[in-house]
Amino acid sequence: MFKFKKKSLIYTAIFVSFLLLFSILIPTLRTPAFEILKYPLGLFTLISREVEGIIFYHRNFVQNEKLKKEIDFLKKKVNAANEVYLENRRLKNLLSFKQKTHLKVVSARIIGRSADNWSSIVIIDKGSYNGIKRGFVVINYLGLVGRVIETGGSTSKIMLINDPGFGVSAIVQRSRQEGLVSGTLGRSLIMKYLPKDADIRACDVVITSGLTEAYPKGLLIGSVISIGEEFSGLTCYAIIKPTVNLSSIEEVLIIIP
Amino acid sequence: MKHFIFIAVIIIFGLLQTTILNYINIFNVKPDLLLISVIIASLNFQPVWAISLSIFAGILKDIFSGNAFGMHTLLFFVWSFLIIKLSRKISFDSDYIKLALLSIVVILNNIITRLIFLFLGNFISLGLFLRITFIESLYTALIFPLVLKFAKTRLIGE
């Protein structure tokens, strides 16, 4: 009985094999043959993969450890490359701005920030040896950043535009409405001393007026977010969003007059 | 010797405050490591050394800040002096009392700073002031136990 069964099984297998071979050789039967074979093939592949996994467990384990280490190494490399790419992009922007602008500028890197929470200052790696003096205006390719308040030999302190002690005469680009822009210590600036009937709207661009000494006219400061009335009711104020993201700047340009 | 180590620690704190702490700030507010060093110095060193170290920390903070020069030096000197006076009347042995003292000093320091700012004509909104004061005292208090533990084991030798 068993012998017959075994034999018949072999014959059936040979027959099926020939049938499949034949069907594969004939183009019209190829697609249905593959369709039929798809599921058993998948099952066999799965089983063989599992068996291989069990047999070669140790080899796979070692290989896995090695690959994990390689991934960590490559991740580090990708991060480093990404950092270099971002730095390159920033420096390219600075360089193109430096080439385009008529102003004489010195580029510097930010090396430190304010030690307290009540002032918004940064420390740069250029000082009086590089021709930087107190009061010089600091910009980047997006707009106004601040002004130099102290200089050492090879370092300088810059007061950012969002420092409460900062003030610059500014105008609304569209209507030429004048006002005084100063910092609030937060992420926004305030444009004060606007008349009650001032022609100013949200999204208006605010630039330097050139009235404050040392600040060239036309430097981009930011755009108007909202307008409000002062407590006294005599004047208005506008809240301005600076064009420069002051919390993430890494390189700046100092205008040499 | 431990005084000189503490000077080095103050310098490191100053450098940390201007660099790394900017990356781990909470809502743009960072802890005041230098004020922590003032409190630790005032509670653990001889009065002359404590006041000298506090003044040194204040000078360092003034160097790295954009405010009127001498403001932090003066404030740190006052806090150190008051803590020394107070420690003769009240016991600050418990770490919780030290933590409470630090929180009070941070809040008072911020209130006085805001008053100085108003006097100088720099207006800071009340909302922003409260946010900075609250977060700074909380954040500094969170850091304080770590610094205190380090100071106890390495500097004070308790």
A181: helix, coil or strand? Answer: strand
Pair B44, B151: CB distance under 8 Å: yes
ipTM over 0.90: no
> Which of B32, B72, B123 faces A164 most closely, judged by CB atoms?
B123
Domains defined along chain B, listed by start: 2-156 (1.10.1760)
What single-letter amino acid sits at B2? K
Low-confidence stretches of chain A (pLDDT < 70) are 1-5, 20, 23-25, 27, 29-31, 33-34, 37
pLDDT of residue A52: 79
pTM over 0.90: no
Token couple for B154: 């390495």
- CA distance, residue B89 to nearest chain A CA (Å): 31
Q: How far is CA A125 from the centre of its chain?
A: 23
E-strand spans in chain A?
A: 105-113, 121-124, 137-140, 143-151, 156-160, 167-172, 178-183, 189-195, 205-208, 220-229, 235-242, 251-255
pLDDT of residue A147: 92
pLDDT of residue A57: 85
φ, ψ for residue A115, nearest 5 deg:
-80, -20
Over residues B116-135, the pLDDT tens digits come to 888 887 777 888 888 888 89
Over residues B46-78, the pLDDT tens digits come to 889 999 999 999 988 888 887 777 888 899 999
Interface residues of chain A, partner chain B, Cβ below 8 Å: 111-121, 123, 149, 157, 159, 163-165, 184-187, 247
Q: Do B128 and A186 touch (CB under 8 A)?
A: yes
- Cα distance between residue A146 and residue A137, in whole Å: 6
**B138 touches A: beta carbon within 8 Å:** no
- Cα distance between residue B157 and residue B150, in whole Å: 10
B51: helix, coil or strand? Answer: helix
Output the CA–CA distances (angstroms, integers) from residue A216 to A22, A102, A107, B109, B132, in the order listed: 86, 11, 17, 38, 34
Other CB atoms within 10 Å distance of the CB of residue A188: 16
- Cα distance between residue B56 and residue B62, in whole Å: 10
**B58 touches A: beta carbon within 8 Å:** no
**B32 touches A: beta carbon within 8 Å:** yes
**B122 touches A: beta carbon within 8 Å:** yes
Token couple for A202: 């949200």
Q: Do A115 and B28 touch (CB under 8 A)?
A: no
Pair B83, B108: CB distance under 8 Å: no
Pair A181, A167: CB distance under 8 Å: yes
**Chain A hits for B19, Cβ within 8 Å:** 111-113
What's the mean pLDDT in B86-100? 85
